[in-house]
Structure 1
Amino acid sequence: MPDIFDGGTGKKIGEVWFGAPDGVTPELMTKYLFTSEKLSVQVHPNDRHARRIGLAHGKEECWFILEAGPEAVLGLGLKNKVSPTKLKTAAILGEIEQLIDWKPVKKGDFFFVPAGTIHAIGPDISLVEVQQNVDITFRIYDYGRPRELHLDDALAVAKLAPYDMKYAMQQTLDHSTVLVSGSPFALYHIMGTDDEVISRKMSTEWQVIPLEGSVIVRGKSIKAGECGLCARYSDIDLSGNGKALIASTTT
């Protein structure tokens, strides 16, 4: 957990997200997640399904692993293709975990989570999540917690198949790289001035998540645990050996 979140109270912090200046509604949302137990099994709809219920678009997201315990896993997709009936029955009986593909993870791993992907985050993980800024989650299973489930909605949008590993990247810590590009957003891992991989086209929103070193956004120094927001890439300065995740809109 970044030092900025350690207030010395001993209180657990599970999720941190960032607001924006008054009058500004970012297209993207950045979060920190710190898990001490399994999070719910869920899925997000794509644009077509979201518009059916009155939203402007669906929700795609991605995860960059900051820290992970030796047994840390993420649930991404299913082990095998299954029928809607089998998935629904497994969820009702509390057996859905047996169908999910639990993948071991380590610091520096990256996973893009397309809309429709059944997913869950296991315990002992710290990660940065970048997502489309829309509040829509269909919860399939929640380990007996007293929260609403959305099983029928989830089944209408979920891909009942394995996760495609083309969306994953392992150990991205030692070089600048494109983690994901194309619609609806791009995310880059950038080290210092080694930023030739970044596309500066058509984006009016940049979010900067410091990892280490000197990171300056619009003339202000920010550090791990914070998030910078600006309209131009030229407002970002990592020349002091900074390392950061940089997200931009592409639509």
Structure 2
Amino acid sequence: MTVHRLTARSVSKPWGITDVPSAFPSLSGDRVGEVWFTDAPMNASTLLVKYLFTSEKLSVQVHPNDADAQAVGLPLGKSECWYVVEAEADARLGIGLLASMDAAAVRSAALDGSLQDLLDWKPVSAGSFFYIPAGTIHAIGAGLQIVEIQQSADVTYRLYDYGRPRELHLERGLAVAQLGPYCMPERTVSANEHECLVEPGNAPFSVDSIVEADGDTFTLADDVSWFVPIKGHGLIDGHRWTAGECWVSEGHCDIAAEGPMHALVARVSPPGRD
């Protein structure tokens, strides 16, 4: 058994914020858009955990699945999920299209700037959770702090970027996109009980929400688990953990809460998933 606290690395983004919470490293006045948890052991490199901080909308984009990524020489596609930690009153997530469209119509909307109006912009609040399978057209709105758990693949096809001077990837993106509404469950995570948020076997990874009271303990017993504490502090096999961190455990691992605790726990799904 081993436990490893990952290193938090801030990444500058034009849509980020300058007043990043004190738990995370700042960038000397630059906008922090993402905080990546890096230096994972090799056997824990298949998932990537991030915090996102937004003051503007992110680009409209889509990711390929494993098969589509491997067809163009990439090792993995990218499915991901979002847990909303904080949200301003009018915060939105754009997930899927309002109606089914053909590729030519989506391409035209991307070029004339109307694509953002064709997304299903869903109102969200703290505790909102969405699983975003590869192929889902999506965008993250302003005024949000989000934990993102994703396959560790650097592959994003940008369809629209509000006039920012960045490359678009229309042909590749439209080739892998689901050109219709989002059909996965929308949910608000309970503050009082354990929940399975992403089922093992139905996705490249699973995610559980863990809630414990002061003095409670729970055990991780999988080959590799990612422990992402959202609230609280305590001990993980004798090491101190606190909210805003990310830990990787291998094998049996006991986690104790010193005060009320809420955490996400992610695991890679076994081969042969649907």
**Under a length normalisation based on structure 1, what TM-score does the superposition of the two structures give?**
0.90
Which residue is 1:173 aligned to? 191
How many Å separate the matches in 2 of 1:151 and 1:171? Answer: 34
CA distance in 1, matches of 2:85, 2:256: 19
Q: Any idea what the Cα deviations from partners look like across 1:180-220, whole Å, max 9, x if unmatched?
A: 12231111110125869x8x5xx422111111222433422
Map of 1:52 onto structure 2? 71
> Aligned-pair RMSD on alpha carbons?
2.2
Question: Which residue number in structure 2 is paired with residue 228 of structure 1?
Answer: 247
Aligned residues: 245
1:185 aligns with 205
Shift of 1:242: 2.6
Whole-angstrom CA distance in 1 between matches of 2:254 and 2:55? 34
1:16-27 equivalence runs, <5 A: 16-21=35-40, 26-27=45-46
Aligned residue for 2:173, secondary structure, equals helix
Label 1:57 to 1:12 Cα distance change in 2 as closer, same or farther (>3 A).
closer
SS in structure 1 opposite 2:174?
helix
**1:1-251 mapped onto 2 (5 Å cutoff):** 2-5=21-24, 11-21=30-40, 26-166=45-185, 168-182=186-200, 183-192=203-212, 193=216, 203-232=222-251, 234-240=252-258, 241-251=260-270
SS at match of 1:98: helix
Deviations 1:36-90 (A, max 9, x none): 0000100000111111111222110000000000000000000000010100000
**Does the C-alpha gap of structure 1 residues 189 and 23 become closer, same or farther in structure 2, counting only changes over 3 Å?**
closer
The residue identity in structure 2 corresponding to 1:134 is A
Q: Provide the rounded CA distance (Å) in 2 between the counterparts of 1:48 and 1:144.
A: 31
CA distance in 2, matches of 1:236, 1:247: 16
1:152 match: secondary structure: helix
Instruction: Kindly provide the CA deviation profile for residues 211-244 of structure 1, in whole angstroms up to 9, marking residues without a partner as x.
Output: 1222433422122221111112x32403434321
Q: Which has the higher strand share?
A: 2
Indicate conservation of the 8 Å contact 2:191/2:211, yes or no: no
Q: CA deviation at 1:250?
A: 1.6
Structure 1 position 146, deviation (Å): 1.3
How far did residue 145 of structure 1 move? 1.1
Distance 1:194 1:170, change over 3 A: farther
Q: What's the TM-score, normalizing by structure 2?
A: 0.83
Amino acid corresponding to residue 194 of structure 2 in structure 1: S
Change (3 A) 1:171 1:31: same
Partners of 2:72 and 2:163 in 1: how far apart?
27
Cα displacement (A) at 1:5: 2.3
Residue by residue, what CA displacement relative to the aligned partner does 1:13-50 show, whole Å, maximum 9, x if unpaired? 21100112565652110000000000010000011111
Q: Identity rate of aligned residues, in percent?
A: 42
In structure 1, C-alpha distance between the alignment counterparts of 2:218 and 2:109, rounded to whole Å: 46
Unaligned runs of 5+ in 1: none
Query: Structure 1 stretch 152-161 or stretch 45-54: which is displaced more?
Result: 45-54
State the match for 2:12 in structure 1: none
Q: Provide structure 2 residue ranges, at least 5 long, that are not aligned to the other structure.
A: 1-19
Distance 1:22 1:108 in 2: 29
